[in-house]
Structure 1
Amino acid sequence: MAKPTKWSNWLDENLVKILLIAFSVLIPLYPKLPLKMINYTYIAIRMDDVFFVIIFLVFLIQLFRKKVNLATRYLPLFVVFWTGVFASALYGIYVQHTIVIKNLGFLHALRRVEYMSLFFIAFSVIKSKKDFRDVIVGLLVGLLFVNIYGLGQKFIGWPAVQTMNPEYAKGYLLYLTPEARVSSTFAGHYDLAAYLIFLIPLVLAYFILNGHVFYFILFILSLMILVFTASRASYVAYIVSAFPFLLLNKKIRTFLAVFAMTVILTFFSQNLTSRIKRTFQVKRVFVNEKTGQVIMPQTITTKELPAGNFYVNVDKKDNPDSSGSQPTMTKDEQLIVKKQILEDIRSQAKKEGKVLTKKEEEVLLSSISASLKPINTIASDISFATRLQVEWPRAIAAFQKNIILGTGPSSITEATDNDYLRWLGEFGLWGTLAFFGIIFKMTKSVYDKYRKTNKTTGYILLGYVFSVFGLMVNASYIDVFEASKVAYIFWIVSGIFAAFSQSTMKDLSAYEKK
């Protein structure tokens, strides 16, 4: 039997790290092309799932051979969460019957295990400062190429593969229109934006550490792509994480440079500024006093975010418009309202199997128009209205059915657009509190290490804390922890920072300063 060579020994010691770095670089870049679609859903088995299985099996083998260590301090919390997830799934399938397709419920539960297992794999590879540096380099290289592809998508016409509806999820190559929101190699612009706001504080931390121009260029590229996503929630998350991070570190010049770049790029993004302006809109709506139906006169276009039908009445009691008198409309309002009423009349007639004559339509139109009452309002856009009126109430109702276990994974459709309400609705207090416990333990461990280390290493550790904070802010409006590419990167980064914070290493700057 041949003796192991020096090279084979090195490979044996570093195989898990090599695979993890490759995963960190390649998976953010590989488009969301399906290998096998899951029945009754637009979820698919993809290349990242196959790659994960390979890494996980190698990790288990190396763990058995004692080549890597297990994060035993964190394992109990993860087990509590996973147990809660599967308890919710089993209860939802066999007792509450809130999960209609049981295989889908189990798949959603297994996905949580898949994403979070990367924490333990990443934790196991950090044995030295060089290991930490190597994984960070892989993550930043992946970020660089994601940004480059995003620019190509915006200006050159490189295709996108998105999963934002069942048809797109089949793997079609999409070519974006000029006003479309950039998604780069991600499933959608929201996922891409969440990925960016999580890594931006770390990029800024490394720039503060050594002042290398590469990191500032990487920041500018990341900010540019973030602006091109036109994601308002992620933009706010970026503001409240990156800016306080710089101010807390007393890096005023860097703060001013970052602030200036943010203002300039935002100003030149008509898509983002338009969406911010239209988050809340002053609108006059017309309410049918007999049925309560709300008609909001507006012309729907692909270039403007329409208002939803959630509004706040700003009329005063003595406002003549709200006195019950016949409403006065502008000519444009009359045309739009008439068109909307006719569409509703014809739609209702079609449902009832009727064919109305022109005379019957005119009679109904006149009757409905006479019942309309104008109200001056502040209306939210359709995106926010959908959350307030449909998605969030649905999650709250699920939580109220079973506050301990929720209604189970996959029980409240594919998206809730608020991770906190989604956890409560699907997993109840058990899963939600366990997940918060994991996040709290990781960030507290890193923060405690920050207080004990030198100033330069502190930049990096504090960067992670603000990265998590930004992602948690974003999670109040988007399901970020269920987005596969975001989840992969989050748990990898968290794993390496948790490993460093638990180690005896005190300095991360040795491999950074020239």
Structure 2
Amino acid sequence: MSKLLNWFKQLDENLVKILLIGFIFFVPLWPKLPLKMVDYTYIAVRFDDIYLAILAFIFLIQLLRKKVLLNKKFILPFFVFLVAIFASFLWNAYITKLIRLPHLGLLHSLRRVEYMIMFFIASSVIKTKKDFFQVISYFFISVLIVILYSLGQKFLNFPAVQTMNPEYAKGYILYLTPDARISATFGGHYDLAIYLVLAIPMILSFYFAKVRSFYLYLFIGALLILLYTSSRSSFIAYFVATVAFLLFTRKFKFLIFVLILTAGLMFTTGEITKRFLKTFQVRRILIDDRTGAVYIGQTITTKELPAGSFYVKLKDQSKGDNLDTFRNQVVLERTREATISGEISTLVEEKKYMASLSANLRPVNTVVSDISLATRLQVEWPRAIDAFKKNPLLGTGPSSLTEATDGDYFRWLGELGLLGTIAFLNILFLILKTIWVGVNKLSFSEKLIGYGFIFGFFALFINASYIDAFEASKVAYTFWTLAGLYIGYYGLKYEKA
């Protein structure tokens, strides 16, 4: 009987930690299957929301029972950020009416709370050095499983559930084509790439601190999967952060190994190299002098990254490719569209339209960007800047910039204004400062582990310039959980130092 009572006592003492470990596995490994779609968007309530609600409820109960402690140092910064979010929501939903669907604005606001609560839950379970290394080891095991599933998706046709468009987000089970970029159990290849980029410096830090081959193999596997995602922004973030980490920790020989390995895997996998080469292309295009419309002669396939309509005119405008065939194709397509829309109704009008359009299509030698960068430069980032201009202090409110802005800094400024952006950056700065101060009081091996998170955070910050990194649910859950674990550990070590 006493053993049973002791078992229940241990369970009670460690219940939050056990559920947190379960969450560390659940988040990256459970596919994004919807439980209920939210009206007027393709965002859904999912199983991870239910799990977190249960975890948060038990955390609150244990907090009231004083089984866990709240990190009081961070309460005020987080509270200020939440005030900024909800001030922006209330102002733009009910005063300016810039949030057209208030329930979406509210859900976007609450989503930030949902992500950030993991920071307090994770930091509360770290009471000893053993707690930290126990929980973080499960994170690395989850990374290993993600890598294995990714390989299965690439070579064994494992299924995917993606959320990269409204139709896929309904929860369809997809089987990727050989040319598709792998996403594992994540909503898309970008999310998977960010997850790996955050993990890689941490994996290397544990390899140097623990000198175990498991971490070396884990790094090689993570790098391989990162390349299979073909995410250029994430690769740049990986390269900059990893090289900086190895230089900072004076691991010069290992840096040479990493450079050779990275180059070898890049040319072996191939796809990411092709995508880098397609980022900017020298093209001779057609521009409609009347409307400014851009026409680029290209064949759209799954193997090629298409060019976008953002271009820079070259000084050299000497004759290039003959575009007569392409011009005729454009004229015929536009004439067909005008006929269907009713703009043209007679044969005479058709001939005049074709002659006028053909005369106004001017060939220009340019450098064009790929469609991914063009979309950001022409649509998403200007939209965020316009939102910021409308209300520099509060922005236009959560959800006002649609589901994606493809750049967290633009999203923060556009939706939350200066108040929300500064409040959020203040939290991130305090996390880094706390870990940095704690790290510099400890032994070299413990410093390495702390540096791993700092440079992983640095990689995430680079990624956030091009992708909504802090908005992707699996990435956000993981980041705030890891931040909480490291704050719990280095805060604890600093207090004892």
TM category (shorter chain) comes to over 0.9
Where structure 2 has 5 or more consecutive residues not aligned to the other structure, the ranges are none
In the other structure, the counterpart of 1:485 is: 474
Q: Find the partner of 2:440 among 451, 463, 481.
A: 451
CA gap 1:507/1:69 in 2 versus in 1, 3 angstroms? closer
In the other structure, the counterpart of 1:348 is: 338
Per-residue deviation at 1:210? 2.2
Secondary structure of 1:409's aligned partner: coil
Per-residue deviation at 1:507? 10
Per-residue deviation at 1:292? 2.4
Provide, for residues 251-294 of structure 1, a one-character-per-residue CA deviation record: whole Å limited to 9, x for no partner. 12221222121111111222211110000111111222233222
Q: Find the partner of 1:407 among 396, 402, 418.
A: 396
User: In the alignment, does 2:104 pair up with 1:104?
Assistant: yes
In the other structure, the counterpart of 1:37 is: 37
User: In the alignment, does 2:413 pair up with 1:424?
Assistant: yes
State the alpha-carbon separation in 2 of the partners of residues 448 and 341 from structure 1.
65
State the alpha-carbon separation in 2 of the partners of residues 163 and 422 from structure 1.
19
Secondary structure of 1:76's aligned partner: helix
State the alpha-carbon separation in 2 of the partners of residues 129 and 297 from structure 1.
61
State the alpha-carbon separation in 2 of the partners of residues 124 and 161 from structure 1.
33
Secondary structure of 1:304's aligned partner: coil
CA gap 1:178/1:249 in 2 versus in 1, 3 angstroms? same
Per-residue deviation at 1:344? 2.3
State the alpha-carbon separation in 2 of the partners of residues 360 and 265 from structure 1.
58
In the other structure, the counterpart of 2:368 is: 379
State the alpha-carbon separation in 2 of the partners of residues 261 and 42 from structure 1.
39
In the other structure, the counterpart of 2:463 is: 474
User: In the alignment, does 2:110 pair up with 1:126?
Assistant: no
Provide, for residues 81-128 of structure 1, a one-character-per-residue CA deviation record: whole Å limited to 9, x for no partner. 011111111111101111111111100000000000000000100001
The question of whether the paired residues in 2 share the 8 Å contact of 1:92 and 1:408 is answered with: yes
Provide, for residues 148-192 of structure 1, a one-character-per-residue CA deviation record: whole Å limited to 9, x for no partner. 111111111111000011110010011111110000000000011
Secondary structure of 2:450's aligned partner: helix
Per-residue deviation at 1:329? 5.0
The question of whether the paired residues in 2 share the 8 Å contact of 1:21 and 1:134 is answered with: no
Secondary structure of 1:309's aligned partner: strand
Per-residue deviation at 1:56? 0.3
The question of whether the paired residues in 1 share the 8 Å contact of 2:32 and 2:187 is answered with: yes
State the alpha-carbon separation in 2 of the partners of residues 22 and 4 from structure 1.
23
Per-residue deviation at 1:362? 5.3
More divergent stretch after superposition (2-11 vs 297-306): 2-11
The question of whether the paired residues in 2 share the 8 Å contact of 1:85 and 1:109 is answered with: yes
The question of whether the paired residues in 2 share the 8 Å contact of 1:159 and 1:176 is answered with: yes
State the alpha-carbon separation in 1 of the partners of residues 170 and 459 from structure 2.
31
Per-residue deviation at 1:9? 1.1
The question of whether the paired residues in 1 share the 8 Å contact of 2:381 and 2:410 is answered with: yes
Q: How does 1:38-57 map to 2 (within 5 A)?
A: 38-57=38-57
State the alpha-carbon separation in 2 of the partners of residues 283 and 294 from structure 1.
12
Secondary structure of 1:504's aligned partner: helix
The alignment's TM-score, normalised by the length of structure 1, stands at 0.93
Per-residue deviation at 1:351? 2.7
The question of whether the paired residues in 1 share the 8 Å contact of 2:288 and 2:361 is answered with: yes
Per-residue deviation at 1:368? 1.9
State the alpha-carbon separation in 1 of the partners of residues 495 and 295 from structure 2.
63
The question of whether the paired residues in 2 share the 8 Å contact of 1:338 and 1:365 is answered with: no
The question of whether the paired residues in 2 share the 8 Å contact of 1:237 and 1:471 is answered with: yes
CA gap 1:249/1:364 in 2 versus in 1, 3 angstroms? same
In the other structure, the counterpart of 1:284 is: 284
Provide, for residues 179-237 of structure 1, a one-character-per-residue CA deviation record: whole Å limited to 9, x for no partner. 10000000000011010100110000011112211111111111111001100000000
Secondary structure of 1:452's aligned partner: coil
Per-residue deviation at 1:356? 6.1
State the alpha-carbon separation in 1 of the partners of residues 221 and 495 from structure 2.
31
User: In the alignment, does 2:412 pair up with 1:461?
Assistant: no
Secondary structure of 2:68's aligned partner: coil
The alignment's TM-score, normalised by the length of structure 2, stands at 0.96
Q: How does 1:170-249 map to 2 (within 5 A)?
A: 170-249=170-249
Per-residue deviation at 1:248? 1.1
Q: Identity over the aligned pairs, expressed in percent?
A: 50
Q: Find the partner of 2:356 among 356, 367, 370.
A: 367
CA gap 1:210/1:405 in 2 versus in 1, 3 angstroms? same
Counterpart amino acid of residue 399 in structure 2: S
More divergent stretch after superposition (369-378 vs 163-172): 369-378
Q: Find the partner of 1:336 among 315, 321, 326.
A: 326
The question of whether the paired residues in 2 share the 8 Å contact of 1:298 and 1:306 is answered with: yes
State the alpha-carbon separation in 2 of the partners of residues 20 and 221 from structure 1.
25
Secondary structure of 1:268's aligned partner: helix
Counterpart amino acid of residue 14 in structure 2: N
In the other structure, the counterpart of 2:75 is: 75
The question of whether the paired residues in 2 share the 8 Å contact of 1:21 and 1:135 is answered with: yes
CA gap 1:295/1:100 in 2 versus in 1, 3 angstroms? same
Q: Find the partner of 2:430 among 412, 436, 441.
A: 441
Secondary structure of 1:35's aligned partner: strand
Per-residue deviation at 1:77? 0.4
Where structure 1 has 5 or more consecutive residues not aligned to the other structure, the ranges are 322-327, 509-514
User: In the alignment, does 2:16 pair up with 1:16?
Assistant: yes
Counterpart amino acid of residue 236 in structure 1: I
CA RMSD in angstroms, aligned pairs only: 1.9
The question of whether the paired residues in 2 share the 8 Å contact of 1:309 and 1:380 is answered with: yes
Counterpart amino acid of residue 272 in structure 1: I
State the alpha-carbon separation in 1 of the partners of residues 296 and 75 from structure 2.
53
Counterpart amino acid of residue 385 in structure 2: I
The question of whether the paired residues in 2 share the 8 Å contact of 1:13 and 1:67 is answered with: yes
Secondary structure of 1:74's aligned partner: helix
CA gap 1:302/1:366 in 2 versus in 1, 3 angstroms? farther
The question of whether the paired residues in 1 share the 8 Å contact of 2:438 and 2:494 is answered with: no
Counterpart amino acid of residue 130 in structure 1: K
